[in-house]
Amino acid sequence: MARLTIVTVVVAILAFVLVFELLRRRRLRQKYAFLWVLVAGVTVLLSVFPEALAHASALLGIAVPSNLLFLVSLLILFGVSLQLSIEVGVLEEQTRRLAEEIGALRLRLEEVEWRSRLDPTSDQAADEAPVPTEDDVDGPRRCG
């Protein structure tokens, strides 16, 4: 085997190990792990069988096989970037909506607290009133 093939296979195996370790630690979601395992697997196949890349590039009319590899890599990276951009947009929308809901709940809570301070006879004020102790009910205790 050529030295480049060995290096490529070792790097792809390290990529497999890294992806599975990230999955195990719950740092990578399964839907992304599949893509990276697929990329690492294709890398191993292309490094062991480089004639497959040459054959594919000849079928597509690309003169240099490495150009096909760069094109496919570029398309994969574009797809990953697009997917992550979509997810960031969705998360930003969810964050904005949750912040609005928290703001509305805080406003409602402040309104309820303000009303209970103005009207101490309300039910909420009674709920928040201190619970009487034995000293409050029986009066002061006497010794002797």
For residues 115 and 71, membership in a common domain is answered with: yes
For residues 27 and 77, membership in a common domain is answered with: no
86 in a domain, yes or no? yes
For residues 72 and 110, membership in a common domain is answered with: yes
Q: Where are the beta strands (DSSP E) in 23-110?
A: none
pTM beyond 0.85: no
Q: What is the number of structural domains in the chain?
A: 2
97 in a domain, yes or no? yes
For the record, the structure tokens of 101 come out as 């809901």
For the stretch 61-93, pLDDT in tens is 999 999 999 999 999 999 999 999 999 999 999
For the stretch 121-133, pLDDT in tens is 765 544 554 544 5
Q: How far is CA 62 from the centre of its chain?
A: 38
Residue 134: is its pLDDT beyond 60?
Answer: no
98 in a domain, yes or no? yes
For the chain, percent of residues with pLDDT exceeding 70: 83
3 in a domain, yes or no? yes
Q: How far apart are CA 61 and CA 67, in angstroms?
A: 11
Residue-number span of the structural domain to which 21 is assigned: 1-48
Can you give the pLDDT at residue 73? 92
